[in-house]
Each structure stands twice: as C-alpha cells, then as structure tokens.
Amino acid sequence: MSNNTITHAMVLAAGLGERMRPLTDNTPKPMLHINGRALIDYAIDRVEDAGIPNVVVNTFYLAEKLEDHLSKRQSPKINFSREPERLETGGGVLHARKLLGEGPFLVINGDALWLNGPDDTLKRMQRIWNPDTMDALLLMHSTVEAYGYSGRGDFLVGPRGKLTRRPENEICPYMFAGIQILHPRLFSDFEDGKFSLNKIYDKGIENNRLYGIVHDGEWFHVGTPEALEEIEAFMKERYAGVQHR
C-alpha cells in the first residue's frame, strides 16, 4: 500500500441547512434531490468511483432520516457518527476519528456537488497528495467559474500549490470547494467539542503544510432553493435521458 492510498472518507452531513428552508424543514439538506438523486449520494458515488472502500457520515439534524436513506445503499461500507450536539466541521471530524483509520483521510461536505474534469477529481487528489510535505490538501475552484457562488474567495494558491489566506477586504481568485485530504496529525492539539475546520487550516498554514489543487471540472454552490432550481435545470439539460454518476 503506497503512502497515497486513501482508505477512508468522511462526508459532513450534520448541518441544519437553514439557508435552504423551507425545503429542509423535514429533509436534511444532503438528501435534497438534483436530477433524481440525493446530493449526498453524488458525493458517495464519487468516493466509490475513486476506489475508497470506507465512508463515515456524521449526522445530527433529522439523523434518522439520513441514516435510513443511506442504509439502503449496497456499497460502499458506511458507518455513522451520530453527534450529541452540533459540533461544527472540525469537531465533527474529531468526534469521528476512531472510525477513520490511522492514515490520511478524505473529507467532503455533504452538499458538495461537482463534475469531474478530464480526470477523476478524487483520484487526482490522491496522486498529488504527499504526506511528507502536506498536512492538508484542499480542492480549490475558480470563484468566477463556480455556479451559484458570489463570495470573495478563500485562499491564494502559490506556484507549488501552497495556500495562504485571502487578505482581508480583498478578492482572490480561488474558493474552497468542500473536498479535502487531511492528515490525522492536524488534530493532535485539539480536544473534543465544537470547532471549525478553519482552525485546522490555520495550523496547516502556520506549519507551511497547507496545500491546494485547482479543480478542472465544474462545481456548484447549492446554497439556496433558487440555486437548487438552477442547478437542477442545468443537470437535466446536460444529462437529458442519462442517469448521471
């Protein structure tokens, strides 16, 4: 097994989906459908296509519905990390650490929706991942080419992929696409409880070990009911008559 082999992935699915109300009043946001398929199933399909055999999904809001839905899948193997309270992204990953193996692991936002470019995105990330120089590898996407995104961007990407934070009050060309490979050592200084993965990224930057690669396919920001409708129309037109995976 090479250093670049990722055997575990985590899908973050414990959020309340407040900006998607009323659609999320009775449905977890990752279970909202686009082109006949739940958002979270698109993400797990990608994990399976990349050959990663183990998936952990954290749950909190309407946890039973999400767990029941995913339990119907035949593959890959899915374990659930039920949270006693909202632990945010970093706290959620730390809470699930015992289920994620001993090596580096993939973490994906439960509402992340992307299309592969010329190559499989997750396989490409695994090839680039280097645990000798990296503690985290984040997938970045062009802010101007992201469907439904209107923010200022998140990081500057250096010539060798090293990331630095967007300067305050400035606009930068790349946003974080909600997909990443993380090394367990990043969590060594953190205790159980609520905290954001942004604290993990800050630790990576401090140690000069936070890296990124730019996505070469399409990416969608599923932030509002209106955006969901626009993406649904796009996907139906792009894949008319085709069960997209």
pLDDT digits (tens, 9 = 90+) for 55-73: 999 999 999 999 999 999 9
pLDDT tens digit sequence for 93-152? 999 999 999 999 999 999 889 999 999 999 999 999 999 999 999 999 998 888 878 788
Judged against a pLDDT cut of 60, whether residue 207 lies above it is answered with: yes
- The per-residue pLDDT for 242 is 55
Instruction: List Cβ neighbours of 190 (8 Å cut-off, separation of 6 or more).
Output: 90, 94, 199, 200
pLDDT tens digit sequence for 145-181? 888 787 888 899 988 899 999 888 888 889 999 999 9
* Confidence band, pLDDT 50/70/90 cuts, at residue 243: low
Average of per-residue pLDDT across 44-48? 95
In the chain, alpha helices (H): 39-49, 63-71, 88-95, 121-128, 197-206, 225-238
Instruction: List Cβ neighbours of 9 (8 Å cut-off, separation of 6 or more).
Output: 47, 52, 54, 55, 56, 105, 106, 107, 108
Task: Record the tokens describing residue 126, joined without a space.
Answer: 């695994």
Domain that holds residue 125: 8-238
Q: Pick the residue with more confidence: 159 or 30?
A: 30
Task: Record the tokens describing residue 147, joined without a space.
Answer: 């469907």
* Furthest C-alpha separation in the chain: 50
- The per-residue pLDDT for 149 is 80
Q: CB–CB of 54/7 below 8 Å?
A: yes
Mean confidence (pLDDT) of the chain: 90
- The per-residue pLDDT for 12 is 96
Instruction: List Cβ neighbours of 127 (8 Å cut-off, separation of 6 or more).
Output: 4
Let me know if residue 188 belongs to a domain: yes
- The per-residue pLDDT for 150 is 78
Average of per-residue pLDDT across 77-83? 95
Average of per-residue pLDDT across 195-216? 95
Measured distance CA(117)–CA(51) in Å, rounded: 18
Measured distance CA(245)–CA(116) in Å, rounded: 10
Let me know if residue 96 belongs to a domain: yes
Report the SS3 class of residue 175.
strand
Judged against a pLDDT cut of 60, whether residue 235 lies above it is answered with: yes
Judged against a pLDDT cut of 70, whether residue 193 lies above it is answered with: yes
Let me know if residue 3 belongs to a domain: no
Let me know if residue 245 belongs to a domain: no
Domain holding 227: CATH number?
3.90.550.10
Let me know if residue 67 belongs to a domain: yes
Measured distance CA(241)–CA(123) in Å, rounded: 27
* Confidence band, pLDDT 50/70/90 cuts, at residue 25: very high
**What residue type is 229 in one-letter code?**
E
Let me know if residue 134 belongs to a domain: yes
Let me know if residue 103 belongs to a domain: yes
Number of domains in the chain: 1
Let me know if residue 59 belongs to a domain: yes
Measured distance CA(123)–CA(129) in Å, rounded: 10
